[in-house]
Amino acid sequence: MSAPKIGELRSRMSLEAPVDAPDDSGGMTRSYVTLANIWVKLIPLSAEARFVEQRQELAIQWIAQARWRGDVTSEMRLVDGARRLRVTSAYDPDGRRRFLLCHCEEIA
């Protein structure tokens, strides 16, 4: 996959990291905090229908290309309004720290 031209990074998304806090019953409550707003190019890969807990969901796989960031992990997500993309992996495609490829999953 070739590196995107800067003008192709057209989608403005929030990069969010999880924050776990203990709740009253001894468990954990997960919320997310925005780390940065970044420009990305979204490329659809595939989509599949799944049955989860007796309901049908549509899982869409994406690649989000962005400028290099060294702090992106697989626990983070990209958010644009009501749209949430869970990052499943993030890597530098050519080792030059210019761009970052994030494989993401969106549940609709």
- The CATH number that applies at residue 87 is 2.40.10.270
Q: What is the rounded average pLDDT for all residues in the chain?
A: 92
Q: Look at the block and give the residue holding tokens 């989509």.
A: 47
Tell me, yes or no, whether 1 lies in a domain: no
Domain count, the chain: 1
Would you call 15 exposed, middle or buried from its count of C-beta atoms within 10 A (0-12, 13-18, 19+)?
buried
pLDDT band at 45; cut points 50, 70, 90: very high
Phi, psi angle pair for 8, to nearest 5°: -85, -15
**In sequence order, which ranges of the chain are alpha helices (DSSP H)?**
none
Q: What is the domain range of residue 70?
A: 6-107
Torsion, Cα 29 82 87 45, to 10 degrees, reads 150
| Predicted model pTM | 0.86
C-beta atoms surrounding 30 within 10 Å: 9
The stretch 90-101 carries a mean pLDDT of 93
Q: Counting beta carbons within 10 angstroms of the beta carbon of residue 14, is it exposed (0 to 12), middle (13 to 18) or buried (19 or more)? A: middle
Whether residue 84 lies inside any domain: the answer is: yes
What average pLDDT does the segment 21-28 reach? 90
Question: How large is the average pLDDT for residues 6-34?
Answer: 93
